[in-house]
Structure 1
Amino acid sequence: MDRRGFILAALALGGCATVGQPPGGAPPAPLAELEPLYGMQAGREGLTIRVRSGGCTAKQDFAFYVDRRGGAASIAFGRKHVETCKPVAAGQAELTFGWAELGLAPGTPVFVLNPVAAAGV
């Protein structure tokens, strides 16, 4: 098969790999995999986020992605493990990620990509 035939085959098969819209016609929300945050604060030691917790949420349950561009950084946080403990009451947990842990120098401008949720809603 020559290169032209390969490209045409790839384009034809690429249509088979597309995913349709979910029922109801609403497209999937971008960044839907990211954990909603109740708050965040940049401090001297690092970046602290506040997330939903039933009492057993730990920092190790989260992964982060850092994108550095133009002297600033964009950070996204996602939960690696679903919290499985039985909550006594709906609560929150504060998790601090150090600047070195994030691979950033203190004072670097940071943009957090996660959605912000209202507490208690």
Structure 2
Amino acid sequence: MTKPQRDPVVDRLRHDVDDIYELIDDSNRTAHTALAAVRGVDLRLRRFQNTSGRQFGILIATLRQHGRRLDGMDQRFDRMDQRLDTMDQRLDTMNGQLQQLTHTIAEAVTLMKQR
């Protein structure tokens, strides 16, 4: 008796199915490992949250207080900026007056030299 000949397509399909099952097993193992890691991180985060919750509240309160102080400083700087602008305008006016005075003196000196 002769052995029935196997179809190569069936062999390839069988091999592909075996490879798929192998990939599924690897994926399941990887997923379980990842899930365990995520659970561990979640547990550590919850512990950290419980222990640092009060400290975080203190930090937030301090940041708000600093924010209020900085707002006050900002307002004071704005007022100083306005005062400096006013002083700058006054100095520009005085500069113009000094230039006119210098020009007038120069004319007077020229007239005096001509006499």
TM-score by length of 1: 0.19
1 or 2, which has the higher helix percentage? 2
1 or 2, which has the higher strand percentage? 1
Larger gyration radius, structure 1 or structure 2: 2
Bigger RCO (CA 8 Å, 6+ sep): 1
TM-score by length of 2: 0.19
